[in-house]
Amino acid sequence: MSRDTTRQAVTKKRAGAGFLDEDFLLQTETARELYHTYAKGLPIIDYHCHLSPEQIARNDNFQNMTQIWLAGDHYKWRALRTLGIDERCITGNASDKEKFMKWAEAMPYTMRNPLYHWAHMELKNPFGVTELLSGANAQQVYTHCNDLLQQLEFTPQGLLRHFKVEMVGTTDDPVDNLEFHQHLAAAQTKTQVLPSFRPDKVLQLSGGEGFRNYIQQLAEASQVNITSIDTLLEALQQRVDYFHANGCRLSDHGLSQLPSKRRLSGKLEQAFAAVLAGDDETAADHQEEFSRYILLELCKMYSEKGWVQQFHVGALRNTNSRMLQVNGPDTGYDSIGDFSQAAPMAAFFDDLEREGQLAKTIIYNLNPADNAAFATLIGNFQQSGIKGKMQFGSGWWFLDQLDGMKAQMDALSNMGLISCFIGMLTDSRSFLSYSRHEYFRRLLCNIFGNDVEQGLLPADLPWIGKLVQDICYYNARNYFPFQQS
């Protein structure tokens, strides 16, 4: 090969040849074999997400790409704010087309952020767009994708079928009547859509009028007159029973940390009664005691039902009070917190374990500094006869990117058994986020492939391929107590 030809080949490689091709992220021949032979094409069990059951049930076509791709996506919103884009074109009253154009112009500037990978993967599958998005081709891409969105295959249910999603676990408040889950169950849709019990609001004793309003909603939903802690627990039990009857088998909790105050002061009932009467003077003093007691009682209910409980911990939420007033929560003003996690979590699980009421549990960590603590803590509460009862959940939120997911899997591998891992979930509000499962599967195969090529693991591809398939799909299928089709 001449020097000029070599220079041209190197230049082509440096120009980005191979980006998002069929071997994207797969750095070795073994990795490629693992992905294409064993991982690719497996169904998806999305056991935790924030998809709207109403959207799935109504199954209406999305009007345009902004509605399906940008609306509700605080990852993209944060990137646009970093670039100084006017909020009007992010969450404001700009037209959908204008918002898309601003995002397209921003895309080239997101290189090395996971958004650059995710967004282009979402354009490629299912829309078939392989060009790199920018302001130059924004109109063409917008028109192409909008046309496809009007087809039956691009409805919410059509997209779930396309991505081979067997099960979707939505995130639902205890006061929800689950109307749309009932509709979907009656329709026997190809994808099973099940509710998950998310009682965060009931723990907020110091929430003032918002808390009192929520207790009233809970009373109406349960038809229990809530006047005491006992009647509060009666109402919650009624809602747990109702959710269970409607297919719920998971709970979920978003907390900064597990509450740590173990001893009851003896004044909790009095404090709760005062709050119900409109007196918040002592609410803050009893907040942690209240939330721990109610959460423990809820976890006992989950155990009795055979549910899986999930704890998402470590987020520092709503830090920008001015923008919270403008846009509300979950709009991109949260970050990683540095809360103490291990001791209160261990004490909480120990209280349940001593009473024989510790359910299957998944813990999700947001601070990478705590990965080793989480990976070792689950080993303290595993149980004979249950494979992987305690799970260190996949890299979550700010950590569901290549480095974050790899760090989580490395910690789990070194301090637990990655062979028991139940794998990836979307934790997303978008029907296009299933590319994250492909992203995860490619990374997983690359990790195992690199170990084989470096002599760290034997070149037993049938066995390693089985482990890969378990992590991608079968472990989750066997872990959750869903009714299998």
User: Taking the domains of the chain in order of start, what are their residue ranges?
Assistant: 62-154, 155-446+472-479
**What percent of the chain has pLDDT above 90?**
94
Burial of 113 (0-12, 13-18, 19+ CB in 10 A): middle
Q: Give the single-character DSSP code of 17.
A: T
Q: Where does the pLDDT of residue 262 fall: very low under 50, low under 70, confident under 90, or very high at 90 and above? A: confident
- Average pLDDT of the chain? 95
pLDDT at 484: 57
pLDDT at 194 over 90: yes
pLDDT at 264: 76
Least-confidence region, from 4-18, 193-207, 231-245: 4-18
> pLDDT tens, 21-57?
999 999 999 999 999 999 999 999 999 999 999 999 9
d(CA 192, CA 174): 20
pLDDT at 350: 97
pLDDT at 306: 98
Between 348 and 4, name the one with better pLDDT: 348
pLDDT at 108: 98
pLDDT at 13 over 60: no
> pLDDT tens, 91-100?
999 999 999 9
pLDDT at 18: 81
Which are the contacts of 328, defined by CB distance < 8 A and separation ≥ 6? none
pLDDT at 263: 74
Residue for token pair 């940008």: 70
Mean pLDDT over 408-423 rounds to 98
pLDDT at 15 over 60: no
Which are the contacts of 420, defined by CB distance < 8 A and separation ≥ 6? 387, 388, 391, 475
Beta strands in 195-318 (DSSP E): 196-197, 250-255, 308-313, 315-316
Burial of 35 (0-12, 13-18, 19+ CB in 10 A): buried
pLDDT at 9 over 60: no
> pLDDT tens, 324-376?
999 999 999 999 999 999 999 999 999 999 999 999 999 999 999 999 999 99
Q: What is the dihedral of CA 92, 98, 100, 104, to 10 degrees?
A: -120
Q: What is the CATH number of domain 155-446+472-479?
A: 3.20.20.140
d(CA 200, CA 296): 13
Mean pLDDT over 69-86 rounds to 96
pLDDT at 270 over 60: yes
Least-confidence region, from 3-12, 117-126, 429-438: 3-12
Distances (CA, A) of 31 to 189, 244, 342, 418, 468: 35, 41, 35, 17, 11
> pLDDT tens, 416-448?
999 999 999 999 999 999 999 999 999 999 999
Contact 327, 296 (CB under 8 A): no
pLDDT at 259: 95
- Indicate if 155-446+472-479 has the same CATH topology as 62-154: no
Domain 62-154: which CATH class? mainly alpha
pLDDT at 5 over 50: no
pLDDT at 3 over 70: no
